[in-house]
Amino acid sequence: MKWTGRFEGYNKSMLRKDLISGLIVGIIAIPLGMAFAIAAGVNPEYGIYTTIIAGIIISLFGGSKFQIGGPTGAFIPIIFAIVIQYGYENLLIAGFMAGMILVLMGLFRLGALIKFIPKPVTIGFTAGIAVIIFTGQIANLLGLTELKSHENFLPNMKEIVMHITTINVYSVLTAVLCFVVILLTSKFLPRVPGSLVGLVISSVVAALFFEGQVATIESSFGAIPSALPQFHIPQITWATVQNLIGPACIIAVLGSIESLLSAVVADGMSGSRHNSNRELIGQGIANMVTPLFGGIPATGAIARTATNIKSGAVSPLSGIIHGVVVFLVLILFSPYASQIPLASMAPILMLVAWNMSERKEFMHVLRTRTSDSLILLVTFFLTVFTDLTTAVEIGLVLAIIIFVKRMSEVMAVTKVLPDPNAVDEHLKGHMVTESHDCPQINIYSIEGPLFFGAASLFAKSIMDTIHIEPKIVLLRMSKVPFMDTTGASQLASIVKYAEVNEGQVIVSGIQSQPLDVLRKTRLSELIGEEHFFVHTGEAIEHALHQLDRNQCLNCKHFAFRECSALSNVTDNPKGVHTIDLVNSPV
């Protein structure tokens, strides 16, 4: 890991800025870390451990100067589902495996591939996660009791409805107070962390006036320890790895998306540039180490990263300081943190859900009423009503299917002939009619990628319009940017058809990628290297010299300018009249 540029020219003034920003972000991270852990179905201290360890490691080894790492809302439904289905110990193993996957992704330079995940998919599952987080806090806000936790959305909503009669007025008052304080602080004191102020004030009021009436962290989960847990290596077996590979992969994919998205936001705010592959490696190391101390999966946190930059951070040291601040708070103030009401946590998470919902982008895509709108809705509803893994998988598959369909529609195959009325006699499709079509030379202009989704259309378009025994089939491929082996296979069928009928295929203007595919598949040898031309004019001149002159006699199509001479040709080949087509742009 090279540190070049990360601390270049570092001085005392920069250190002071990093100390201030690290302190501010650390204070903000404390209630969020606990709230995310509680929402994910684990003890609040595990969120604190993750904030400390992952926050420091991501700043040390990550690829963004300003990235703040830790637990995030995006992981809540995943962690919750893993804990419900596999248990907390297996969550640690899944997190460790996800870290290994992230490191491998970085080493194999897969950071850039994350950018290819369609926006409707990311917006859909992010909005779905926001709904799960928001609705998941209704029970804590209302102070409902005796609820059973379920993995899926609908059973959890049913539990709320069934136990609505257990509503606790004191919990509602505590939550409303916290919510109002957060809003007022954000409006009148924007530089002060509203979530922390709301948490402290509502907790103090609840302790003074509602003592014993509101569920707290200690009454629900036990007291928060005032130290980090001991180093512990989970028991990993091959059966466990096989069982958890799916959850580990979804943690890794979501973690990579969130961290790189956060790094992009940081770049836009600071004018810096992150290293995506290094960022994945840093995230991977953090997620491998954090479970060894009981921590949950972590990634880059967009809101905390943005706060870090706005607070004046100049280097990764601010992220390290943020982790140290959280550690000191854990050591010094954990007894007080244990008395925080769960109702005070609910508004914080609900606001996090509201802010992460990407509601404006969601509505914008929805209003387009395109296939992207369908992808968005499918991903959103599957995230809410099934699980994130299913939602992402089906969302991606649907996006790929629609993309392939779109690309196949881009493919166009047009039979063309020279238009004598056009400048330089450009080849035009409207010139081909039943009474005006050369029986021996078939010219086709091909536009669009020649891949598996469009290859059959390409072959069908040619075979439906080709003459029974063409002498020459000229394929103009200057507008074919890409070809795969399926496209090459369909092209091979056309070449073989021409050969069987004692004809030949010639190609003009082919680009480098399709030509490389033809050479690798050895189809270029079947066509013949001498039958590839840079300009269509050269190809047409070659084709005209291959004509069966006897067949040209008395032909009335006059597809080319030369046809008037060729249709009256004698045994003397010198009677052929030619024009300069070599340099023609047709």
Q: Which residue has the higher pLDDT, 279 or 574?
A: 279
Confidence of residue 42 (pLDDT cuts 50, 70, 90): very high
**Residue 59 predicted with pLDDT over 90:** yes
- Per-residue pLDDT at 582 exceeds 70: no
Q: Which DSSP string corresponds to 246-289? A: HHHHHHHHHHHHHHHHHHHHHHHHHS----HHHHHHHHHHHHHH
Lowest average pLDDT, out of 412-421, 518-527, 565-574, goes to 565-574
Cα separation, 397 vs 391, in Å, equals 10
What does pTM read for this prediction? 0.80
In whole angstroms, what is the distance from residue 261 CA to residue 255 CA?
10
CA distance 444 to 463: 11
Give the residue-averaged pLDDT of 191-208: 92
What is the pLDDT, as a whole number, of residue 105?
A: 95
Instruction: Taking residues 459-476, report their average pLDDT.
Output: 86
Find the range with the poorest average confidence among 142-156, 268-282, 476-490, 557-571: 557-571
3-state secondary structure 409-423: HHCEEEECEECCCCH
CB 59 within 8 A of CB 69: yes
Q: Which of 38-42, 320-324, 347-351, 499-503 has the lowest mean pLDDT?
A: 499-503
Sequence-ordered list of residues with C-beta below 8 angstroms from that of 297, at least 6 positions apart, any chain: 50, 71, 75, 78, 79, 94, 95, 98, 251, 255, 287, 290
pLDDT for 276 equals: 93
Position 580 confidence tier, pLDDT thresholds 50, 70, 90:
very low
Say whether pLDDT at 4 is over 70. Answer: no
Average pLDDT over residues 13-36: 92
Least-confidence region, from 1-5, 41-45, 302-306, 342-346: 1-5
Residue 90, pLDDT score: 96
The pLDDT of residue 579 is 38
pLDDT-derived band at 568 (thresholds 50, 70, 90) equals low
Which tens digits make up the pLDDT trace of 379-399?
999 999 988 888 988 999 999
pLDDT band for 6, please (50, 70, 90 cuts).
low
Q: What is the pLDDT of residue 581?
A: 39
Q: Quick one: which H or E segment has residue 152?
A: none
Indicate the average pLDDT of the chain.
90
Q: What is the pLDDT of residues 403-451, one digit of tens each?
A: 888 888 889 999 999 888 776 668 888 888 888 888 899 999 999 999 9
Question: For residue 332, what pLDDT is reported?
Answer: 92
pLDDT > 50? residue 573: no
Tokens of 556: 């009335």
> Does 510 score more than 80 pLDDT?
yes
Give the CA radius of gyration of the chain. Answer: 33
pLDDT for the residue 572 = 39
Residue 479, beta-bridge partner list: 447
pLDDT at 570: 45
Percent of the chain as helix, strand, coil, to the nearest 5: 65, 5, 30
Q: Which residue has the higher pLDDT, 579 or 346?
A: 346
Helix (H) or strand (E) segment spanning residue 151: none
Q: Reply yes or no on whether the pLDDT at 578 is more than 80.
A: no
Q: What domains are there in the chain, each with its CATH number?
A: 14-400 (no CATH), 412-575 (3.30.750.24)
Whether the Cβ atoms of residue 316 and residue 69 lie closer than 8 Å to each other: no
Return the minimum-mean-pLDDT range out of 90-94, 206-210, 349-353, 406-410: 406-410
